[in-house]
């Protein structure tokens, strides 16, 4: 199989592998009503697992699906699922809801006919390679044009085409602008820059995900005495940054090592953010 070792909780049981659970009459397979979240279990800890599980329930509501599993139940399920793997194995935890009912002819979901699964799979926490980024060819939609307040599957074909286009030009990722032309995030993560020892990051304006890792890293940096300013940022400011780094649940904190033709080093603020995150994880393990 193309996938790593995987266990999925669905309809009251754990299933190994990649069970076919969304059928051709499901709203989700035809009209795209899926929401998901992603969290990590590694080094014996699951940082902010509860926040990720709470968010998937908010995401479900945002696309008219009534969540059927509580945050506490999801946290318990994730920890139960983790026991199916070797201890110490780094895991990815992905809860997901989708629309089962209604669909063609009505296009709306049936809010009470909702599927749920939670998938856990092996995903090593690699030391991050630096990414080369360019300006994305497509932009983030607004809340008026897409459910940007949800971590919804329907948002990701846009991110995928941004990423694909950037890769055809030899970059690893793209800086994605919002509809006003301000920097929003990358195609896969939130973005930060450092200039003269101060950290700047786009202020949430409803177009991009206010990431859980983003909020954690901002709090950790501020607690450690680093000034972090959330504001409207132009792309040109990133071209002139001392450091650029990204945050996301999958790899946590990762450096950008080139923007367009400008090379960058993984710098001291990036290093600090990454170390603070791991110290935070060790703290909750203790
Ligand atoms: N933006 C996008 C488009 C993402 O896919 C992710 C990863 N979920 C993030 C930002 C980071 O969010 P979080 O830290 O909550 O994972």
Architecture of domain 6-122: 2-Layer Sandwich (3.30)
Structure tokens at 162: 């941004």
DSSP per residue over 83-132, as a string?
A: TTS-TT--EEEEEEEEE-S--TTT-S--TTSEEEEEEEEE---PPPPPEE
pLDDT at 103: 74
pLDDT, one tens digit per residue, over 118-172 is 999 999 998 888 999 999 999 999 999 999 999 999 999 999 999 999 999 999 9
At residue 166, the pLDDT reads 98
- Centre a 10 Å sphere on the Cβ of residue 180 and count the other Cβ atoms it contains: 11
**104 CA to centre of ligand 1 in angstroms:** 30
37 CA closest ligand 1 atom index: 8
What is the reported pLDDT for 116?
98
pLDDT computed for residue 286 by the predictor: 73
Indicate the Cα dihedral angle 12, 21, 17, 36, nearest 10°.
-80
What's the rounded Cα separation, in Å, for the pair 185 and 201? Answer: 9
Is the C-beta atom of 212 inside 6 A of ligand 1? Answer: yes
Domain 131-285 in this protein, CATH class: alpha beta
**pLDDT value for 105:** 80
Query: Going by DSSP bridges, is the β-strand pair 13-16/39-41 parallel, antiparallel, or unpaired?
Result: unpaired
Q: In the numeric block, which tokens belong to residue 154? A: 């329907």
* Ligand 1 proximity of 211 Cβ (cutoff 6 Å): yes
- Residues of the chain with pLDDT below 70 are none
Atom of ligand 1 nearest to the CA of 176: 3
Tell the residue nearest (CA) to atom 3 of ligand 1. 188
Q: What would the DSSP string read from start to end of 152-170?
A: BGGGHHHHHHHHHHHHHTT
Mutate to test the pocket of ligand 1, among 92, 204, 209, 215 (most ligand atoms within 8 A of CB): 209
pLDDT of residue 8: 98
pTM above 0.95, yes or no: yes
Distance between Cα 77 and ligand 1 center (Å): 22
Res 261: pLDDT: 98
Tell me the residue ranges of DSSP E strands in the chain: 6-10, 13-16, 34-36, 39-41, 91-99, 114-122, 131-135, 173-177, 183-186, 190-195, 198-202, 228-231, 243-248, 252-259, 262-263
Whether 254 lines ligand 1, by a CB cut-off of 6 Å, is no
pLDDT on residue 1: 83
Pocket of ligand 1 contains residue 248 by CB under 6 Å: yes
Domain residue ranges in the chain: 6-122, 131-285
Whether complex ipTM tops 0.90: yes
């Amino acid at each position: 199989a193309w996938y790593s070792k995987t266990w999925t909780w669905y309809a009251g049981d754990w299933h190994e592998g990649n069970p076919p659970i969304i059928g051709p009459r499901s709203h989700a397979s035809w009209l795209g009503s899926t929401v998901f979240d992603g969290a990590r279990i590694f080094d014996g800890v699951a940082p902010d697992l509860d926040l990720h599980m709470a968010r998937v329930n908010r995401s479900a509501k945002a696309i008219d699906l009534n969540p059927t599993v509580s945050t506490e139940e999801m946290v318990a399920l994730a920890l139960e699922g983790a026991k199916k793997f070797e201890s110490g194995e780094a895991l990815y935890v992905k809860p997901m809801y989708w629309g089962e009912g209604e669909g063609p002819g009505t296009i709306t979901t049936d809010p009470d006919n909702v599927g749920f699964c939670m998938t856990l799979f092996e995903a090593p926490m690699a030391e991050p390679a630096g990414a080369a980024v360019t300006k994305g060819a497509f932009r983030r939609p607004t809340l008026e044009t897409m459910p940007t307040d949800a971590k919804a599957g329907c948002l990701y074909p846009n991110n995928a085409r941004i990423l694909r286009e950037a890769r055809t030009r030899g970059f690893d990722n793209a800086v994605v602008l919002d509809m006003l032309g301000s920097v929003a995030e990358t195609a896969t993560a939130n973005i930060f820059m450092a200039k003269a020892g101060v950290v700047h990051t786009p202020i949430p304006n409803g177009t991009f995900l206010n990431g859980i890792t983003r909020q954690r890293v901002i709090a950790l940096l501020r607690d450690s005495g680093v000034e972090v300013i959330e504001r409207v940022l132009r792309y040109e400011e990133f071209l002139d940054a001392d450091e650029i780094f990204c945050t996301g649940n999958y790899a946590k904190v990762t450096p950008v090592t080139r923007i367009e033709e400008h090379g960058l080093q993984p710098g001291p603020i990036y290093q600090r953010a990454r170390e603070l995150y791991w110290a935070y994880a060790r703290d909750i393990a203790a």
